Structure 1
Amino acid sequence: MLNYIAAIALFVAPAIAAPWTNATCVDQRWSFNSQAQSPCLVGAYLATPCTTDDTFGIYSLQGTSGGPYGFAASAANNCLCNSVMWNLLSACALCQREPSGTWGQWVASCPTNMINAGKYPIPLPAGVSVPSWAYYDFTTAGVFNAAVASQQTGLESSAVSGATSTPIAVPSLTGAPSATPTEIIGGTSTPKPVKTQSGSNTGAIIGGVVGGVLGIGLIALIAFVLTRKRKAEDPAAKYPEANHKPPMAAQFNPVTPMTGQPSPYQFGAQPMSTPEHKPYDPSDPSTFPITPTNGHYAESIPYSYQPQGAPGQHPYPSTPQV
């Protein structure tokens, strides 16, 4: 049976205290679990419960004589002699574009009492999720069928808080795993870069930002137009002189003259007192008629205007002067 095993790539590596693999999958991306762990790494995890230090490594088939995977009779145990491990290591070989081998080849080194079909006989280790397709029973056909396995959309099994089941998220060839897978190369853990499907999310975010900016700009433009229209319809803004009130002009008071100006004639002033007219009395000289000087006769004016001049000015004479 060992003639069909081209490479023995399973071995215990006590120097590295963790499940590991340096196998790189270039195909069969559907075989990754929801934690973006390859079937090679999942197989390494399932082999650790049967080791003394929880350490197990799976080498790459590249650079060797090729697949399929197998193991010696001295390495047979319950972790290896079951169809779940065979399915995982068959998918691991196929993702490296190597042959997967048959069920008979896989269990050739196993005692009959260790062989289990369709199940993993011991509790699952922590830190790994086993895809539902790994539990599919291909032992009757004897050949692992990748096409059938890739169509299984059941729940994954894990050891988180006991044996629980979680929904499976199978990566596609064109997509990318939802987490960063870690492959152990030469004993050093190095993260493998993963492409993210963020194109649609980025486009939606950019579209939302642009739409928000345009909406704010439109609202600002409408507010600006309404404000300008309201100002244009305001008569106070259009004709500012309509609300202008000129200062009060000084009111002219004919009674009270301004300082430094001659007072106007006051009409209606009290007349000056004149001597009482007495009848002619030859014995009273005051009743004699007045003879004008130089032969001119001057008639007395019964009323006279008494102008009030400015200080320092003589008033107009009450009687005309010759």
Structure 2
Amino acid sequence: MFLQKVILLAATFASAVWAQFDTAQCGTGFDWNKNSLGQDPCIVGSKLDASCRGLAVYTYTPLNASQYYLPPQTNRSGDVMCDCNTVMYSFFMACTSCQNGTIYSWTKWIAQCVNISISQYPVDIAQGTALPRWAFINVTSLPNMTYSDTVAMSVGRDPEALPNSITTVSMVSTSTTGISTLTKNSTDLPVPTNVNDTAKSDNTGAIVGGVVGTVVPLTILAVVAFLYARKCRQQQVQPNGRQANDPCAEYGPSSPFIPFSQYNPNDPSTSPPNLSGPGRHTNTARRTYSGAAEV
């Protein structure tokens, strides 16, 4: 029971350490893209993805400058079902933009999509969130079919789409007259170097976080194992050599190490022990390869 409690504590601590390195957030100056609950696009998008995929949590790893989130991939569970719509595209690009990452066009986003939705969210909206009006922009009418902070800011937040409400294309009618795209918009999607399967990004910071989140709990578990072993050694031994409910009894005491003596053909006591078979021990629990053709 003691060991189980400590292991559970270590696992909880590991999750907490990992989470703080795995949550993307917008930088300063992007209050305009938050919903009425104060949630930025990274938080809203992650809530929608988690709800759509039937997960408790789905996080977006933070981006470094010029990094990006991968578009929906057919080999990633849930991508095609949950993200092949302009709403999720807008949330991903807004989350990328507010971290000074690299955004790219809608056409590149849907390269592996089968069914797409324009200006509507085809899945039930997650509880505990709200979708701002700018998320329903018809990005196909924007220059280069690419998300723009300028357009999103001009469209604004209200009215929002709430859980249990119906989202339709009539929410937003966007005119692109006089709107220019941001200079950091990319025309070509860069080639990914490393993909984080849980959050669709290549991120050094997340790797560092993963190392910290893994090493610390392992250190704790090592200490636990040491304490557990010491506790076993300190337990009172009964006359028969084992305690009735001794959790360590199944392992038994370790055999003392006896070094081999150098073989002397004139001294029978140094002769090696007899082995069964030509050069191997008999082992009924494991099948060994003999070198001959096996049937």
Indicate the TM-score class for this superposition, using the shorter chain for normalisation. Answer: 0.3 to 0.5
The TM-score with structure 2 as length reference comes to 0.45
Point out the structure with max Rg over C-alpha. 1
The TM-score with structure 1 as length reference comes to 0.41
Instruction: Point out the structure with the larger helix share.
Output: 2
Report 1 or 2 for greater relative contact order, CA contacts < 8 Å, sequence distance ≥ 6: 2
